[in-house]
A and B are shown apart, each in its own frame.
Chain A
């Protein structure tokens, strides 16, 4: 499983005052890169709020690990979705915008999402030092 992102350049955001709503809908935008085996669930729309995606995927993993049979991530600016369906120790992933489904171990999804959050947090902190002190960023991406 390859879960990655491409963050858009952003020289306008004041990261000291960014709110959770900003992070969920308006800042740290970019593309989702998401492959499982030969299935490509990537979304290169350029407007995906990546902090929101990282936080939402982490919440989905937490719910799946807690016994939820199915969780769906909804993109913020369309009805597109990514669905995670628990099948024992595995998870079947499908999307509204790509063909087919792919199965992968739940622990692999959890590890990929954790890595995604950590890399995004690290890149934001490096590019925007004020993000490291923003409580909304800390809340959604976790403490360093």
Chain B
């Protein structure tokens, strides 16, 4: 069973069973929010991250998370980056805020295949994660 399939199973079932999560259904998609002061990672945005940035993703030119990183650990990293990282406005009219945080350990690979220790998270003005990737 490959990592993408495992991730898809997490997507379908795992998040709903996570004890520290509150789950709300609205507007046709599920929302997972670990607490009221943290960012929201919807199922569709999580799938976007898995498609582009999971260790077994075939997308080129995109940073990849290290094999073994789970949906739960991804969510923890996103929240840590938003809480402790450097924030800046999104660029050239794009909506939202960019957060960047250096974990001081390898979390994935860069587009060149080198070790990536930093995470960039883009968060919308509705406090929803748009994308997140290592670099």
Contact = CB atoms under 8 A, between A and B. Distances in A.
Interface of A: 20-21, 24-26, 43-47, 52, 55-56, 59-60, 71-80, 97
A56 B91 contact: yes
Nearest to A75: B61
Contact of B92 (A26, A60, A97): A60
Interface string B85-105: 000000111111000000000
Contact of A55 (B63, B92, B120): B92
Nearest to A45: B61
A78 B135 contact: yes
Nearest to A71: B92
Interface of B: 48, 52-53, 59-63, 91-96, 110-111, 120, 122, 124, 130-131, 133, 135
Contact of A24 (B52, B60, B95, B133): B95
B61 A97 contact: yes
Contacts of A25: 48, 122, 130-131
**List of 10 A-B pairs having minimum Cβ-Cβ separation, nearest first:** A45-B61, A79-B135, A56-B92, A59-B92, A77-B62, A78-B111, A45-B60, A24-B94, A78-B62, A77-B52
Contacts of A59: 92-93
Nearest to A19: B95
A47 B59 contact: yes
Contacts of A97: 61, 111
A21 B60 contact: no
Contacts of A26: 48
Nearest to B93: A59
B63 to A, nearest CB: 5
Given A21-B124, A45-B60, A76 B93 contact: no
25 contacts: A21-B95, A21-B124, A24-B94, A25-B48, A25-B130, A25-B131, A43-B61, A45-B61, A46-B60, A52-B94, A55-B92, A56-B94, A59-B92, A60-B92, A73-B91, A76-B122, A77-B53, A77-B59, A77-B63, A78-B61, A78-B62, A78-B133, A79-B63, A79-B110, A97-B61
A67 B38 CA distance: 39
Contacts of B95: 20-21, 24
Contacts of A43: 61
A76 B121 CA distance: 10
Contacts of B63: 77-79
A76 B131 contact: yes
A56 B52 CA distance: 22
B133 A74 contact: no
A46 B53 CA distance: 14
